[in-house]
Amino acid sequence: MDLGQLARLRTPAGSAALTAATELAGGDPLAAATALRSAGFPADLAAAALTQAELRRRAVGKFGPVAADMFFTRAGLEQATRQVVARRRAERLRTSGVRALADLGCGIGADALAAARAGIRVFGVEADPLTAATATANAEATGFAERFTVERRDATTFDLHRVDGVFCDPARRASGRRIFDPNAYSPPWDFVLSLAERVPRTVVKVAPGLDHALIPPGAEAEWVSVNGDLVEAALWCGELATATRRATVLREEPPTEPVGRVGPATQHTRAHELTSSRVTEAPVGPVRRYVYDPDPAVIRAHLVAELAGALDATLADPTIAYLYADTPTPTPFARCLEITDVLPFSLKRLRALLRERRVGRVEIRKRGSALEPEQLRRDLRLTGDQPASLVLTRVDGAPTVLICRPGPGWIGARRGRY
């Protein structure tokens, strides 16, 4: 999409094309394009509308139903903050006293719109012309144009005296490629770090893989997961820092139908936080009856030791973040499995044992193992009708496999591991 296409999509004709394209999104692209042209829409407008309708369809996972009225670029959608994360951040900013916020590098407006919904006046700053225009279109489409305005300029030139809070999401991609060197971010890392010295309430969105050595002194580093997926990290600086490290685990519950089925289903999200202001190490001990696989936010926040204390658990290997306990404790911060067998890894022995127990479906988790789960699944050649969980790991440095079943201490599923 370019600026001209965005402008056309916002006209009455463009709106009609989008309505028609939405009904065809997700189907055969060639048939959809033919149908729009047969309905009288010019080929270029039909193509732009179909692309936008497809992006809106994909955006529902991040933005919910409001995505149907928004505008997206491919890069903007990929890099946008999930609504559930942006909403929680906006509430924390509002509670901290922020009333006017500069969103430096606002992208298509995901975080700015969440802040505007929370009652904060947002000044969006975006250097890219198309992205800035898309953010403006989204402010108008969602009804927040008076509370969220966009200025197309270099983020380093914005007058910070106009605000009492700053959110900065530096660009970490160039020409479609991920940038790993913070000094190559836009705006550059030195400028990002200087923001906290100029505005006491500053939060910076960073990559989840941020090196802990780059965390500025006095800042709170937060890692956020949604339904078991690690999605982002943020640095809360100055007056916003209330801990040293924080793991925020968000669980989206299935939508609940309203009484009498009047109105849309309601999506609920449960938030759980684990924090620490000191560095500790988890004790090491033998494999015990239950194994816990910590949420990735807990691992990246280096809070495994704190979780171990809450669960009365130990590590079996000081370098591997699986925790072991004698009794199960319900927790949102880890998946709990009950161990039935502990074996030195041997494909032949493992295959024989699983066949003896008629296991045909396995969930495979690994940490500290070079084995590829899908290759192992093929090598096992299972044909039974019973399920099991396999944990590939090391114990005292030796390759080990744990045969498990779900434990009663499990709250929430980790997607993508089955």
Question: What is the tens place of the pLDDT at every residue in 134-149?
Answer: 999 999 999 999 999 9
Burial class (CB in 10 A: 0-12, 13-18, 19+), 351: middle
| pLDDT in the model for residue 175 | 65
Q: What is the 3-state secondary structure (H, E, C) of 321-367?
A: CCEEECCCCCECCEEEEEEEEEEECCHHHHHHHHHHCCEEEEEEEEC
Rounded to an integer, what is the distance from CA 354 to the centroid of its chain?
35
DSSP class per residue in 198-211 = H-SEEEEEE-TT--
Residues 301/231, Cβ–Cβ less than 8 Å: no
Mean per-residue pLDDT over the chain, rounded = 90
78: amino acid identity, one letter = E
| pLDDT in the model for residue 408 | 63
Q: DSSP class of residue 41?
A: -
The percent helix, strand, coil of the chain (3-state, each to 5) is 35, 30, 35
What backbone torsions phi and psi does residue 308 show, to the nearest 5 degrees?
-60, -40
| pLDDT in the model for residue 254 | 63
Query: Which is it for the CA torsion 147, 150, 156, 162, positive or negative?
Result: negative
| pLDDT in the model for residue 414 | 42
Give which of 305, 283, 280 is closest to 294, Cα–Cα: 305
Among 22-31, 65-74, 359-368, 404-413, the least confident range:
404-413
Bridge-partner residues for 290, per DSSP? Answer: 325, 338
| pLDDT in the model for residue 415 | 37
| pLDDT in the model for residue 28 | 80
pLDDT at 118 over 80: yes
pLDDT at 129 over 50: yes
Each residue's pLDDT tens digit, 266-281: 457 899 999 998 888 8
pLDDT at 413 over 80: no
**Tokens read off for 102:** 């500069």
| pLDDT in the model for residue 106 | 95
Q: Determine if residue 119 is left, alpha or beta; phi over 0 gives left, psi from -120 to 50 gives alpha, anything else beta.
A: left
| pLDDT in the model for residue 180 | 73
| pLDDT in the model for residue 404 | 95
Peptide bond into 187 cis (omega under 30): yes
Among 357-361, 401-405, 412-416, the least confident range:
412-416
pLDDT at 365 over 60: yes
